[in-house]
Structure formats: C-alpha cells, structure tokens
Structure 1
Amino acid sequence: MTSDVEVQPSAEPSRPPTPSAPRTWAALRPLLLRLHFYAGILVAPFLFVAATSGLLYAASFQLERAVHAHELTVPVQEDQRADLPLSRQIAAARAAHPEGVVAAVRPAAEPGETTRVLLDVPGLAESTRLAVFVAPRTGEVRGALESYGSSAALPVRTWISGLHRNLHLGEPGRLYSELAASWLWVVALGGLVLWLSRRRRAGRRLRGVIAPERGGSGLRRALSWHGSLGLWAVAGLLFLSATGLTWSKYAGGNVDVIQGALGWSTPALSTSASTSASASAGDHAAHSGDAHGSPDAAVVDVDRVAEAAAAGGLSGPLEIAWPAKPGGVYVVKEMDRLWPQRNDQVAVDPVGGQIVGELRFDDFPLVAKLIRWGIDGHMGVLFGLANQILLAALAVGLMSVIVLGYRMWWLRRPTRGFGAPYERGSLRRLPWRLTLPLAVVVVAVGVFVPLLGISLLGFLVLDVVLGRIGAARR
C-alpha cells in the first residue's frame, strides 16, 4: 500500500527528468498510484487477516504434535521386538471402534510414532474420518481423533486451517481468502513498480532501494520502511498469491479448465484391476457383505498389500486405502511432502496381492508438478521447518507493510492540510493508445480472476461517486 508521498530528500536532490523519459509511464503512474491506494485501504484488512491466520498455520504442525502428543507418539521401546503385523494393529483399532469401517491406514513411518487407522464413521463432517492411533509394537490403542482431508489434519490444525481458508463461515467465507489472494499480486507488483520508480527519480543508489533510510522520521520513515520491506517480500507474496489462487473456488476453477484443455492436469491412478482379479475380489466382498470389502479380507490382505508396495519401490510414509467398492483395488500412496518428494502410487489386487497399476510422480506433467510443489510450499511442508520459518517471515512482513501503509495514510490525511495526493481523472486522461490495450488486459484478468474483476469495478464506481460528491460540495 505504497503512498507515493512527495517527501524530498534533504541530502540528495532529485534528478530532473530526461527528455527521453517515457511518456507512457507518466500517463500510467497516477492511475497505478490511485489503484494501489484504493487496494491498500479497502483490501488490506482481508490481507491482514489472511496473513495473521497464515502465521498461525505456519506453526500449526508443531502445535498439533504438542497438543496431540499422546495419540501421535509412543515411548521408543528399548527391546528388539518387531512391530505387529498391520492386520493385528487394524484389528485392535476396529475392536476399539466397531462403529467404523476401515477406509485407510497410515503405518508408523518412524520409531516412536503410532499407526493411524482411518475409519469411515456415520455422522462425521465431509472429508473427515476417525483416526484411531495404535502403538505398532503392543497394539495399544492410544486414542482416536477426527482427521480432516488428505493432509490428515487433526483438530488443532483443522481449526487453524479453517480459520485461514474461510474464517469458519463455510463456503461464503471462502470469498475473503480468494479476494485476498486475487489482490495480493496486484498490490505487490504495483507497490514494487511505484517504489522503484520513486527511488530512480530521487536518484537513490542500491542501498536506498533495498534498505530503509537512516535518520528519517514520521512520514518519510514510514514510507522508507514500507517500500523496503515490500521489496524484500514481493517474490514470496507473488508465490503465495499464485498458489492460493490455484485452490480457490472461482479462479481455481478456471485454472483447472486451462490445465485440462492443455493436458496439464494431474494424472489419476487407474483403480480397476484385471477382470479376473476384480471378479474374485467382488465375490470375496459379496460373501462377507461389506461394501468396502470384508473385515476379514482387510485383515488377511493388508500385509501382503504393504509387501507388494515395498517390492514396487514405495517407501514410507505410506497410506494404504481400502477398495472403494466391491471388485476395487487397494491404492498405496507415498505421502512424503518434503524435498525431494516421494509421491508415487500403486494399485494392488486385494486377492492376488500383485501390483496391477502404477502412477509415478516423475511422469506427471511439469505444470502438475509445479502446482503440487507450490501447494506444499504454501502449506509449509515442502522444506520442513525452513519452509515454515519463511512463511512466518512473509506473514510478519506483510502485516508490517500493511500497518506502515495505514500509518502513511494517517500521517497524510486531508485534515492535516496535505490535500488529496491521489489525483482523480487519471483514467480519463489516458491516451487511446494506452486505454484500449489496458481495457483488454483488465477485462481478461477480471474474467480469469472474477473476484478481482468485480471488486475492481466496485472501486471504479466508488471513485466516481466520491468524485461527484466532492464536486457537489465544491
């Protein structure tokens, strides 16, 4: 929210404009300045909330492990006993919670961790399962918690994630986060251009661009810190905006359409086994009367499924998902989101135990890989703790830039006699050679990012109304 306040430097005189200075920038600068001002004043609260909740989410993994330590961990045994077969661990979970149907299991990946058995239980919210935590060596059930989504978030992280995604307001609440992501890249790029152009006109050297001025105060100091912090954060803010839009409702839907049209969609593993295997699995499930396959079949086959996945090159952490319907196959997925990632998948025949299909992450289209990496980076899991620290720094930086922007606006408020620094009518004064291509670009971006287009139209209407009111008063 860069307020382009004309605070002349005391020691370094401004350079006079050169005759070759481009007239295009002279025409566009007032318009960009006004857009940046409106976005800063009206959209910054949404960005501040998103940054605050994002800061909480960056620490949510440690909070989850601390709050749910009893369920997630077991004392590391000093004896040499091996882990119980998965089938016995699952049987212990089902005995403790017979109301659920086994949907998946996540074997303990490291010593001291519990095995997570995921059950479909009636009455739970969408995309939520009951996670039963079992000690791998003893079969002790350590507890059960609701687990949300593919990331298997437990209650603490689920609550923080919901706050960041929709403020716990459901689908209407998602508009806030999409609006913030839609404007973040506009505000960041606009501020960057305004800051660099101001520094160039003021004759600043490199240090005056990348670092705050020394000895400034008041408005000048706020502007210097606002611009310098924004410069350092701009790359990360653009990354957060782009990745946030990929899973938003409206802009994200347009991204999916483009991916599909260009053949860049994330491929899906074929879960249909061979005809004979499917028939035998269906007969087995029909004999037991279980829509997911029989409980007995799950107990018998899961260990062979794990062995087949290991033979196919998959390594932990893993998730073994039960057949979704009679005649289906087990799907085994690598769940390692750290770099370098392991995200291979195989389909395993539930009766014969052979791999009947595979999907390797190396075979993903490049765009699908970039989106996967981007989402994991946005969530803070791609590079582990370093990723979380970087996200926390970006959140604090964005919050600081917003606060400084509001301080600049307050210091230069009209009641202090500064007048209005944001000149009206800049759009009307644009030459046609700029107006037409700019209109095409704005319409195209507005269609692709609908909340940006709608809110931008709202800004234009607001600006016209305020201008009319001001003219009537004068």
Structure 2
Amino acid sequence: MSTTATPVRTTPTVTGANCAYRTLWRWHFYAGLFVMPFLVVLAITGTVYCFQPQIEPLLYPHRLVVTPKASPRLGEDALLASARAVLPSGALAITARMSSQAERSAEFIFRLPDGRKQSVYVNPYDGAVLGTLDVDRRFMQIDRMIHRKLLLGKPGELLMELVACWTLVMIGTGIALWWPREASSLRAALMPDFTRRGRPLWKSIHATLGIWLAIGAFAFVMTGLPWTGFWGKQFKALATSVKLGSPPGAWGGLPLHSKVAGQAAASGTVPERHASSPSMDAMPGMTMDDMPLPQVPWAVGAVPVPRAPGAGASDTSPLPLGRIITLLRANGLTDRYDIALPASPDSVYTVSYFPADPKLERTLYIDQYSGAVLKDIRYSDYGAVGKAVSYGTSLHMGRYFGLANQIVCAALSLGLAALAITGCVMWWKRRPSGALGAPARERFRAPMRGWAAALVLLGVVFPLMGLTLVAVWMIDRAVCGSATKTAAS
C-alpha cells in the first residue's frame, strides 16, 4: 500500500516592514502623480520670478531705464502730471512707485475708465513719457499669477494650495521610503549608483536627489503657504487673533509710532499724536490687502486702513504728492517704496516699504490734508508669527542675501522639477500597458498608527488637504479593494 504525499500550498510570508513599505509607496505614488506636473510649473515660474530685478530691465529697457544726467530731477507732481496727460479723461492715479536710483524711470499706475490698470513711465530728468504697460499683462505679473493660481482665478489658487499640501505628503513618504534598510549604508543612500541601468538607475537618482532637496522643498512649501488664498488667510486671521501676527496696535487704539507732521513736515520734527485720536478709525472694510499696492508685508495684510481725520472740512485741501515725498524722506524712507494715492476725500496716503531685509519693513498711513503720520508700523511691532513669515517670505523670493539667495532658490526649484521628471520616468517604465500602475495593495497590512496620525493631523491643519486625503483613501479602497477581492476569488 503506497501513500502519495499531498502537496501543501503555502502563502508567501508578508512581513510588517514590507507591508508598511508598500503602503508608503502607494501614498508617495498618489502624491507624486498629482504633484508632478504642477511642480514643474511652480519650479519654472518661481525661478523666473526670483530673478525679476535682473530680467525686467532687459524686457523693458526703454521704459524702465534712463540715462542719468547732471541736471536735477523734476518734482514728483510734475512727473505725475506728465503721466496723466497721456491717458484718457477719467483715468485715476492710484499708485506711485518711488525710486531714487539715477538710472531708473518714475512709474505711476492708473486705473482706466474701463477698469484696467496701466503703468506710465516718465523720464525723471525731463518729464518725457517713455511708454506704458498694462499691469496685468506685464510679463512678471503673468508669471506670478501662473505661479500662484495658474491664471484660473480662485479655483486655480485653491488647486495650487492643494499642490503645496500634497508636496508635504510626497516629502514625508519619500524620506521614509529612502531611509536605509539593514542591507544598505547611509553613505550609499546619499549617492546615486551609476552602475545600475534602466529603471533601477532612475530610482537611485530620484531617491538621492529627493533626499538632498527634502529640506529645501519643505522650506519652500512652508514659507509659501502663508500667502495662499484659503489657508493663508485663515492662518493670518488666527495669528492676529492670538496677537502673534499683526502688530497689537494695528486694529485701532494705541498708535504705532504715530506722529503729526503739520508745519514741521519738511524738518522732520513731529510731535506725538494722542492714542484716542479719531484718526485711528478705520475705513469700513478696507485692509492693506485691498489697497492697489504691488506688494504688502504679510504681517500687515489684514490691518484696517485709517481714514483721513480732516475729511469734510471746507478750509482744507489735499497735500500734493511732493509734500508727502518730503515727509517720507524726513522719516527715513528714500528709495523703492510704493504709495497708494488717496482715492476719496476720506482716504489717506498709504505707504508700503517691502525691502529685502525684513527688519526694515514699514507701513505708513499719512493724512492727505495735514500730513499727519497716523501710523508707522515697523518690523519691531510685528508678532512672533509675523516676524517669522517675513523672514520666510524674503528667503522664499530669493531676496534676503542677494544673488546667492537667488541662485540657491533657483537650484532648489529646478531640482524639484528634475525630481518630478525622474519620478515620471520611473512610473512610465514600470506602468503596465493600459493601467495606472499604482503599487499593489497588500492584503495583510501592518498597523501604521504613526503615519495615520500624521496624515490626520495634516488634514486637520489644512482642511482642503484633509478633504482630498479622505477622497483618495475612499477611491483607493473602493477601486483597488474590489480588484483585490476579485483576484483573491
């Protein structure tokens, strides 16, 4: 009597570490698939905008650049009159961009009767109009709007905010996937292996490039998020409410370095204004973010704009722009600041100085009738969050330490673009024909409570991100879960 051994069917052992790796790979794949095309756009537009000071004079040399002369510059009011003369009736001057550089033209921005905004460039030595530019069609403005919202308005702004948030997921899961296992050393993980061929080579380059860029990418995301349209505004409001964002006296009451210019505007000797002055009343609904200014420091974006205390008096008339410029020189501002001109009898001259060094930022409100400095908000008046965001913004834009900062930002941006491209190549090489090619789900998964908690926290801090996380998780379970059940049966 013979017996035949019945073969025993075994199931490959699935370790918790392997399950965890595949789960992280799936989330890294989803994050990368969504982020990749937008990351290339962000990298290119961000690099271009970073070099704005060098690029714009090359694009518009006949408007922005003049030949310095030994003769004195004309007064600001004469230059403004020259600019106004070339525009149609009804054009309203809304902004003056001040520069004391000998080779730069004077720039004034007007709102035309049809609602468009147009810059007029004037030679400061003879008053000749050098040309005009549509503000919204200026190359750098288009580049900036692509970077912020893909030229799609509010939907595009929300989309780019989601891209930034999903980049955080991509960075976190990428670091976890790269982390050296038992069989590899840290040194080997930090250098690509050029002895490999095909997809393994691309994977090696992608992994090492990603880890070298991780800190810079994280810094880019975190310094850009405070400026986003949804989360950034909520974050600014929260920081202000707990007195960590905008300066404490920005909402009325105690003035910040507030002074009255009066007859002493030219000399710069100005007495203090009392805290209970009615000039601290704000224009209803108007904040710094609403003003026609090219750039405003983040910490003062939500600050209400005061109204002119002298409005309505029959014996007063607005001060000319030249007097305001003289007052600002006496108060230490001489170059590269913007002035939002009064648009109504109760509005004020609003001055924004947004230099490369955050510690020098200033925002001033000046009564258009008396020349009183209603508020002078400086970096020292910001809350802790406002100060941190100011430094982050300067670094993010490549302005803080000059050309070296620009080069570092460009290298990081283009490196992120290369990361997206290498990730795309890897996906394409492993993608089955006619399929998405997402990493397979494991039927036996290790409990990854730490990562789950991190994703939940990320979704709570960034609500839009949280909604998409839930949506991706549900789709993944519905589609891939059913596929797994079918394969198992």
User: Partner of 2:133 in structure 1?
Assistant: 145
User: Partner of 2:49 in structure 1?
Assistant: 57
| C-alpha contact 1:334 1:345 (8 A) present in aligned 2 | yes
Q: Are 1:203 and 2:187 counterparts?
A: no
Shift of residue 330 of structure 1?
2.2
TM-score normalised by length of structure 1: 0.78
Match of 1:87 among 77, 91, 101: 77
User: Partner of 1:182 in structure 2?
Assistant: 165
Shift of residue 379 of structure 1?
3.1
Match of 1:74 among 47, 66, 70: 66
Q: Output one character per residue of 1:155-212: Cα deviation in whole Å (capped at 9) or x when no partner.
A: 11111122222222222222331121011122112212221x2x24233243x23321
Pair 1:275–1:178, CA change in 2 (3 A): closer
User: Partner of 1:460 in structure 2?
Assistant: 473
User: Partner of 1:136 in structure 2?
Assistant: 124
Match of 1:118 among 109, 113, 134: 109
Q: Are 1:309 and 2:328 counterparts?
A: yes
Pair 1:218–1:452, CA change in 2 (3 A): same
Shift of residue 236 of structure 1?
1.4
Give the residue type in structure 1 aligned to 2:149.
N
TM-score normalised by length of structure 2: 0.76
Shift of residue 28 of structure 1?
4.4
User: Partner of 1:104 in structure 2?
Assistant: 95
Q: Residues 8-27 of structure 1 correspond to what in structure 2 (within 5 A)?
A: none
Q: Residues 231-242 of structure 1 correspond to what in structure 2 (within 5 A)?
A: 231-242=211-222
Q: Secondary structure at the match of 2:63?
A: helix
Structure 1 unpaired stretches of 5+: 1-22, 149-153, 288-293
Pair 1:361–1:137, CA change in 2 (3 A): same
Q: Secondary structure at the match of 1:352?
A: coil
Q: Are 1:392 and 2:410 counterparts?
A: yes
Q: Output one character per residue of 1:347-377: Cα deviation in whole Å (capped at 9) or x when no partner.
A: 3333333434311122211211221232333
| C-alpha contact 2:91 2:110 (8 A) present in aligned 1 | yes
User: Partner of 1:372 in structure 2?
Assistant: 390
Whole-angstrom CA distance in 1 between matches of 2:482 and 2:467: 21
Between Structure 1 and Structure 2, which shows a larger proportion of helix residues?
A: 1
User: Partner of 1:320 in structure 2?
Assistant: 339
Pair 1:406–1:261, CA change in 2 (3 A): same
Whole-angstrom CA distance in 1 between matches of 2:375 and 2:473: 54
| C-alpha contact 1:322 1:330 (8 A) present in aligned 2 | yes
Give the residue type in structure 2 aligned to 1:51.
A
Give the residue type in structure 1 aligned to 2:159.
Y
Whole-angstrom CA distance in 1 between matches of 2:215 and 2:480: 34
Q: Secondary structure at the match of 2:220?
A: helix
Shift of residue 90 of structure 1?
1.2
Q: Output one character per residue of 1:141-162: Cα deviation in whole Å (capped at 9) or x when no partner.
A: 11122335xxxxx611111122
Pair 1:160–1:341, CA change in 2 (3 A): same
Whole-angstrom CA distance in 2 between matches of 1:256 and 1:402: 31
User: Partner of 2:138 in structure 1?
Assistant: 155
Q: Secondary structure at the match of 2:109?
A: strand
Give the residue type in structure 1 aligned to 2:123.
A
Pair 1:24–1:381, CA change in 2 (3 A): farther
User: Partner of 2:290 in structure 1?
Assistant: none
Give the residue type in structure 1 aligned to 2:337.
L
Give the residue type in structure 1 aligned to 2:389.
I
Whole-angstrom CA distance in 1 between matches of 2:153 and 2:438: 40
**How many corresponding residue pairs?**
419
Q: Secondary structure at the match of 2:425?
A: helix
User: Partner of 2:271 in structure 1?
Assistant: none
Pair 1:425–1:387, CA change in 2 (3 A): farther
Shift of residue 138 of structure 1?
0.8
Shift of residue 27 of structure 1?
6.8
Give the residue type in structure 2 aligned to 1:187.
M
Give the residue type in structure 2 aligned to 1:316.
D
User: Partner of 1:151 in structure 2?
Assistant: none
* Identical columns (%): 31
Whole-angstrom CA distance in 1 between matches of 2:211 and 2:451: 25
Q: Output one character per residue of 1:404-451: Cα deviation in whole Å (capped at 9) or x when no partner.
A: 223333344457xxx986442465x41xxx54x755543342133233
Greater displacement, 317-326 / 111-120? 317-326
Shift of residue 25 of structure 1?
6.8
What is the RMSD computed on CA atoms of the aligned residues? Answer: 3.1
Give the residue type in structure 1 aligned to 2:189.
V
| C-alpha contact 1:308 1:355 (8 A) present in aligned 2 | no
Whole-angstrom CA distance in 2 between matches of 1:462 and 1:186: 18
